[in-house]
């Protein structure tokens, strides 16, 4: 059993609901020694499993394997073993009841972070769209002004270059300052 899929959290209310569910599940499934659970959590942090989103995903995968009947990742067992001194077989058996609770907590952290990252991406896309629309509006307004003064003497349209506008033929140039003076009166 691989456990439930990662959740996509779309609102603060939903995040709070998911947190409450994860806490309730953790209390139901934790079982065993609180001190041992604390050592398991500490081992995961000290081993870098909470350093970033990819590390948390690796921890989720490892814990899913444990919940599915596999052994704890060796680095976690060795780390906890250094703190409690039990042999790895006994430690695996003692930690197994803790895996579901820790898995629920880490899944929750991954889901919340995924939602936050998706929101940032959405805002970046919106900002880019807004910026593109603003630039297009400025371009259209400037083209309308340029149409008032007409095409270049050779009949070409204008395109923007640093500091002003050049005709498509390349022979004529109007500075932004010249346009500002022309349209200011």
Q: Are the C-beta atoms of residues 44 and 77 closer than 8 Å to each other?
A: no
Residues contacting residue 83 through CB under 8 Å, at least 6 positions apart: 39, 42, 43
Token pair, residue 124, equals 């970046």
Token pair, residue 164, equals 């002003």
Please report the pLDDT score of residue 140 as a whole number. Answer: 85
pLDDT digits over 69-109, tens only?
A: 999 999 999 999 998 888 888 888 999 999 999 999 999 98
pLDDT digits over 15-72, tens only?
A: 556 555 545 544 444 444 688 888 999 999 999 998 889 999 999 999 999 999 999 9
Residue 2 has pLDDT above 60, yes or no: no
Q: Are strands 158-161 and 164-167 parallel, antiparallel or unpaired?
A: antiparallel
């Amino acid at each position: 059993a691989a456990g439930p899929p990662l959740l996509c959290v779309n609102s603060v209310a939903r995040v709070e609901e998911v947190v409450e569910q994860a806490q309730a599940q953790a209390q139901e499934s934790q079982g065993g020694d609180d001190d041992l659970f604390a050592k398991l959590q500490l081992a995961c942090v000290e081993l870098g499993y909470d350093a970033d989103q990819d590390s948390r995903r690796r921890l989720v995968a490892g814990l899913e394997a444990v919940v599915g009947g596999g052994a704890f990742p060796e680095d976690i067992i060795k780390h906890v073993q250094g703190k409690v001194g039990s042999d790895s077989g006994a430690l695996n058996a003692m930690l197994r009841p803790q895996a579901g609770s820790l898995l629920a907590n880490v899944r929750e952290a991954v889901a919340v972070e995924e939602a936050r990252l998706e929101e940032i991406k959405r805002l970046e896309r919106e900002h880019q769209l807004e910026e593109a629309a603003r630039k297009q509006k400025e371009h259209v307004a400037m083209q309308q002004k340029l149409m008032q003064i007409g095409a270049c003497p050779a009949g070409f349209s204008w395109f923007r270059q640093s500091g002003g506008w050049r005709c498509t033929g390349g022979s004529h140039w109007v500075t932004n300052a010249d346009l500002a003076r022309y349209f200011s009166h």
